[in-house]
Amino acid sequence: MRRKIVFSLAAFLLVFGLIVLGYQQLNASGHAGYVIIGIGDLVLETSLYFILFLTVFVFVAVYLGIQFTTGAAKLPEAIKRRHHQQRHKRAMEALSEGFVETIEGKWDKAERNLIRHASDSTLPLLNYLVAARAAHLRGADEQREDYLQRALKAAPDTPLAVALTRASLMMGTQHFDQALEHLAEINRTAPNHPLVLRMMADAYIRTKDWDALHYLIPALREAKLFAESELRKLELEAYQSLLRKRALTKDPGLIREIWRMVPPHLRSEAVLVEPYSRGMMDAGVGKEVEEDLRLALGRDWNTPLLKVYAQIEDDDPIRQLAHCKDWLGPHRDDPSLLALLAKLSFRVGQGEAALDYAKASLSLDPTPEALKVLADLMFSRKEDVAASRLYRQGLRLALGEPMEAEMMATALAILAPPQVVLEPLVEDGR
C-alpha cells in the first residue's frame, strides 16, 4: 500500500513538473496563451497557467476523495482483520504458555488458558490435546475425555492422533490395561502402525504379558522398532516365561506346543532349554529332551543345565556315558561333570571308574551328587555304616549345612586306602 502511494505521488509530481516546465517555456517566448471557456451565455477567459493549476487541483481533489472513500469503506474490514490478528496472536501465546504450564504442573491454569483461546487458535487441535493432558495429569478423566472429543470435533480428520494421545496419557500414568484396550482398537483400524506397536510392546513388557508379546514380536521385527539385540533379549524372556508357565501344568503336550513356537535360532539357548527340559522331566517324559540338552551343552557349556541333564536316565546309559566323556577334554575341572560321570559309571557297573570320578569331583567341590554315588557304591558292597555316613553328609550339603570332616574321612577310609582320603576336605573343615 505504501509503495502504491509513493508511486502515485511520484507520477503526479512528474506530470506536474512537465506542465510547469512547458508553461515556463511558453511564457519565456512571449506566447503564454490564454483560455476561453463558454457555457451558454457565460464566458470565462483566463490564463493557461490558471487552467493548468485548476486541472491539477481538481485531479488531486478527486484522487484524494476516491482514496478517502475507498479507505472509509474498507475501514471496518481492516479493523476486524486487525482484531482477528491480535486474537490469533494471543491464542498462539496462550498455546505456548499452556505447554509450559502443563510441564510445570500448573494444570488448572493451563486448562483455562488453552480452552479460553481454543476458538481463536489456528491450531485448536493442539489446544484441546494439551488441555486433555493437563486434565489427565490432575486426575480429571471426564474432563480429559471432553477435551479429546472437542479435539476430534475441531479436526475430524485426525482420529488417530486423538486416539494415540488418549493411549499415551494412560501409558504415562501406568494404566496399562486401559491403554492396551485403546491400542488394540487402534490397531484394528490402523494395523501395524509403528507408534501403536511400540506402545503395545512397552505395555506388554510392563505388565509381563509375555504370551501377548511373543505374538507381537514378528511385527516388531518387521517394523524395525527395536535393535536386533534388544529384540532377541525380549524373545528369550518371553519364551522363557511361557515355558515356565506351561511347565507348571505338567502336560507334555502344552509344553511341546510352546517349544514348537520357539524360533530355531533360539532353541540352543540355555535359558530356554533349561525350563523346557525341567518341564518335560516333571511331566515324566524327560528322555525326549536328552538330545536337546546334550546339543545345548555342546554349544554353550552351562553347569546348571548340566545338572538338569544329570537327572535324565537314558535307556542306553553306555551311550550316554560315552557322550559325557567327550566333554572331559575342555571341562575336566567341572565337579558337576565329574559327579555325572561317576553316576553313569556306577550305573553301567564300572565301580572303580565311578570311585575315581566321585573322588575327583569331591576334591574340587563337595556336592550331594558325588557323595550319593560314593554312598551307593558302599551300599552295593555291603558297607552300610559307611554308606549311611556318606548319605548323611550328602543330606547336610543339600540342606546347606557344612560336612562333618572326621565322619567323612572315616567313611572314605573304609572304601579306599588312607592315602586317597581327601585332604582338602579335612583342611577346610567341611
Residue-number span of the structural domain to which 392 is assigned: 331-430
Question: Looking at per-residue confidence, does 418 or 231 come out higher?
Answer: 231
> Looking at residue 427, what is its pLDDT?
37
Could you report the per-residue pLDDT of 45-56, keeping only the tens digit for each?
776 667 767 777
Q: Return the C-alpha cell found at 263.
A: 524360533
Flag whether 29 is in a domain: no
Q: Residue 415 corresponds to which amino acid?
A: L
**CA 113 to CA 321: how far, in whole Å?**
79
Half-sphere exposure of 176 (CA within 13 A, CB side): 12
Flag whether 413 is in a domain: yes
Flag whether 140 is in a domain: yes
Question: Which of 110, 138, 157 delimits the end of a domain?
Answer: 157
Could you report the per-residue pLDDT of 30-43, keeping only the tens digit for each?
555 666 777 767 76
CATH code, 122:
1.25.40
Q: Which residue's C-alpha cell is 483461546?
A: 117
Flag whether 371 is in a domain: yes
Flag whether 83 is in a domain: no
Residue 235, judged by CB atoms within 10 A of its CB (0-12, 13-18, 19+), counts as: buried
Tell if the pTM clears 0.75, that is, is over it.
no
Radius of gyration of the chain (CA): 48
Residue 143, judged by CB atoms within 10 A of its CB (0-12, 13-18, 19+), counts as: middle
Residues sharing a CB contact under 8 Å with residue 369, sequence separation 6 or more, in sequence order: 307, 310, 336, 339, 340, 342, 343, 361
Question: Which of 105, 125, 157 delimits the end of a domain?
Answer: 157
Question: Which of 157, 182, 203 delimits the end of a domain?
Answer: 157
Flag whether 226 is in a domain: no
Flag whether 61 is in a domain: no
Could you report the per-residue pLDDT of 60-99, keeping only the tens digit for each?
777 777 777 776 676 677 666 665 566 667 767 776 777 6
Flag whether 384 is in a domain: yes
Domain count, the chain: 2
Q: Which residue's C-alpha cell is 529384540?
A: 231
Q: Return the C-alpha cell found at 420.
A: 586317597
> Looking at residue 253, what is its pLDDT?
92
